[in-house]
Amino acid sequence: MSVSPDSSPLPRRPRPPAIAIVGAGPRGVGLIARIAARAAQLLSAADLVASPAGASSHVSAPSHVSAPSHVSAGSPVGGRSRGGPAHLPPRPRLTGADATPGGGAAPGGGATPWGGRLVLHLVDPHPPGGGRVWRPRQSPLLWMNSMAADVSVFDDGSRGWDAERDGPPDSGPSLAEWAEDIRAGRLNVPLAPELAAEVAVLTGRTFATRRLQSAYLRWVYERAVAALPAGVELRVHRRRAVRLTGPRDGAQRVWLEDRELPLVADAVVLALGHLDAEPDVQERELGAFAARHRLTYLPPEYTADSDLRALRPGQPVLVRGFGLAFVDLMVLLTEGRGGTYAEAPGAGGQGPGDGPELVYRPSGREPVLYVGSRRGVPYHAKLGYDWTGELPPLPRFFGPEQVADVLRRQRPVDFARDAWPLVQKELGYVHYHRLFTAHPERTVGSWAEFETAYAACEVGGAELAALVAAAVPDPADRLDLTRLDRPLAGVTFASHAALQEGLREYVTADLIRRHDPEHSSDLAVFLGLLAVYGQVAGLGDIGPWWHGFFSYLASGPPGPRLRQLLALSRAGVVRFVGADMSVTADPARGAYVATSASVPGHRVEATALVEARLPDPSVARSRDRLLRALHEEDPDGLRVTPGGLVAVRPEDARLLDGAGRPHPRRFAIGAPTDARVAAAFARPGTGAPAVRQNDAVARALLRLLTEDARPARLSA
């Protein structure tokens, strides 16, 4: 008998309360960890099992998976970790996705008819822990974008953490500390030989492979599962969620690919990462041009998933985008095709930044990459030194009070008008605070005097310019965010060859500065950017510029990648196009043509074009079937921002409908939302906005289960 999505002939049967988490990557796992941290409260809510008034739903049939997980939750996941016990008592409660839900008392069950059970459904076709992006099966050439010491999914409460608001801190090791614990025998984590070899030499300053990060995230996942209280059962479903139905005041149904019956839950959390999208109008036109003229066009997508086989050896390839997607592309098309690097002869082992100057030895299989973008330069290199001394007191000019003030105004938020002046003042404040306190010999007067005068000045005004000029004699020590954002604005080169030399000089200078602690005000600005990003998230969708600016300054590639870029440029494998890159399809030439403001009149023709970036956010064009179905089946049931993001209530990430009403049972966290935070990971000691957001959702789920408490819980 066929079963429609909204009705069923099945008899009524009791079921425990349930939460479905769609997405098993870092955000989904982080949410499980916060549920575990709220264990006592959640178990108290779960003991009050009952059904929402008038709600009815199907009992979830078991979901077959090709490789079901049968990890015994509560069993040791590898020795002692920082901030945690050596092991947790074994309490089997994680079942594979093919486990059969049933009644009776759960392990360690309570006094309720259902044993105090709470069911967590985790839905993702990719392995729990890393999800799609951090999956274990990917090229070993791809690195993380942060040093191992700066990567964690935990927060020790050392800064910005309010225990009453954010719950108990969840201390745990960073990626570097995790590797150290494995080496010291404090953790027993089974690893493939190549990952064990990487752990053996990993330091806090290493840029680990993404495959090692996948292993770390898998361990974090198992740790979170082991910390769940008795009676909480986690069911893993290695399938795609394709539809979400259910009334606002009743049980929700999550429909899975190739499965007849849905999962039934009291609440659903969409923990989705960056989403693929169908091409937009311009991308479709460029793709159609390629088909007509037998060219190659690769639209925006996650580079590790791109099919690069169509790019031939020696082929001229235009690359539009100079951020992290380009770096991945560069690696896969050079080292990934057999090219190698060696130290430059006569360089004495010292090059720009923290490492030797390199030469590239091509394999002969590389295409020629012509790369450009709006800025025309790569993202700034990761900073190559650690913080010492006094931290800047944040927030100062852009904190929760200022965000609330912006939101109280009866008008749509305009980032440039309402927030950017405050952001500029905050970043200037941390920059000059560091300069005065760590490098006083390059300043005039006292910090106290400067701080008082700075607070009274308006951003962009003559008074502030005069204050900075008098207190900071060297222009190189002054913060110029406009110049930082567009370093090639108004700069032209006499020839394409001159541009190559000019950009190599620019990248070299950037590497030197980013590894020199004498410019530690750059690190202060980095910390300021992290703090500001968490505040900006509360403003909703403010357009793409801010996120791009943040990524350019704070989320650039490791220094070694830029040293490789220099070697590839000298070898002629990578060639720079310049700023304000424009690409057109020339039917007369049967080619793509690029021009740039940096070399007026110069044209580059190519037979391939790669969009080196992720797709722009778009619910309407999303390839995520669940999200797209929500939008298409009930356009008023899901608010989408002008920038294509899913609108959520900032305080608890509940989905908003067309009228701005928060859905009582649906939540969304992560990149596709207008409350996205800077990263899924936590930089130790910085307040971890992602962890705090996960905790806010965990609290909201707790309250929901408590409010649902009735004498009996039924499903149909």
Closest CA to 324 of 142, 572, 198: 142
Q: Are 48 and 705 in contact (CB under 8 A)?
A: yes
> Highest mean pLDDT: which of 341-355, 531-545, 550-564?
550-564
Q: Are 325 and 612 in contact (CB under 8 A)?
A: yes
Half-sphere exposure of 681 (CA within 13 A, CB side): 24
Residue 501 burial (CB count, 10 A): 13
Flag whether pLDDT at 683 surpasses 80. no
Number of H helices, E strands in the chain: 19, 22
* Residue 360 dihedral angles phi and psi, to the nearest 5°: -105, 135
Q: Where do runs of H (alpha helix) occur along 129-206?
A: 163-166, 175-183, 193-201
Burial tier of 643 (Cβ tally within 10 Å: 0-12, 13-18, 19+) = middle
Provide the pLDDT for residue 383: 94
Whole-angstrom distance, CA of residue 217 vs CA of residue 132: 12
The model's confidence at residue 59, banded by pLDDT at 50, 70 and 90, is very low
Flag whether pLDDT at 414 surpasses 80. yes
Length of the chain: 716
The model's confidence at residue 65, banded by pLDDT at 50, 70 and 90, is very low
Provide the pLDDT for residue 93: 39
- Beta bridge partners, 122, equal 21, 236
Provide the pLDDT for residue 687: 64
Mapped onto helix, strand or coil, the DSSP state of residue 432 is helix
Q: Write the single-letter amino acid at 402.
A: Q
Q: Which two tokens stand for residue 368?
A: 């020629």
How large a percentage of the chain has pLDDT more than 90? 68
* Residue 504 dihedral angles phi and psi, to the nearest 5°: -65, -40
CA 683 to chain centre: 12
The sign one gets for the Cα dihedral 141, 212, 387, 678 is positive
Closest CA to 32 of 274, 221, 167, 270: 221
- Beta bridge partners, 574, equal 369
Whole-angstrom distance, CA of residue 86 vs CA of residue 503: 52
Whole-angstrom distance, CA of residue 120 vs CA of residue 332: 38
Whole-angstrom distance, CA of residue 301 vs CA of residue 312: 20
Residue 311, H or E segment:
none
Whole-angstrom distance, CA of residue 51 vs CA of residue 49: 7
* Pairing state between β 252-256 and 263-265: antiparallel
Q: Where are the beta strands (DSSP E) in 358-397?
A: 358-361, 368-372
The sign one gets for the Cα dihedral 226, 229, 231, 234 is negative
Provide the pLDDT for residue 633: 85
CA 631 to chain centre: 23
Listing from the earlier edge strand, what are the strands of the sheet with 604-606? 582-586, 591-595, 604-606
Provide the pLDDT for residue 586: 97
Provide the pLDDT for residue 399: 93
Average pLDDT taken over every residue of the chain: 85
Provide the pLDDT for residue 393: 87
Residue 586 burial (CB count, 10 A): 13
Least confident of 270-274, 356-360, 372-376, 441-445: 270-274
The model's confidence at residue 690, banded by pLDDT at 50, 70 and 90, is confident
Angle between helices 559-571 and 324-333 (to 10 degrees): 60
Q: What is the pLDDT of residues 460-509, one digit of tens each?
A: 899 999 999 999 999 999 999 999 999 999 999 999 999 999 999 999 99
Whole-angstrom distance, CA of residue 20 vs CA of residue 254: 8
* Pairing state between β 591-595 and 604-606: antiparallel
Whole-angstrom distance, CA of residue 692 vs CA of residue 159: 12
Q: Which two tokens stand for residue 579?
A: 């700023």
Q: Are 226 and 665 in contact (CB under 8 A)?
A: no
Flag whether pLDDT at 712 surpasses 90. no
Burial tier of 139 (Cβ tally within 10 Å: 0-12, 13-18, 19+) = middle
Q: Which two tokens stand for residue 55?
A: 């709600």
Whole-angstrom distance, CA of residue 132 vs CA of residue 124: 9
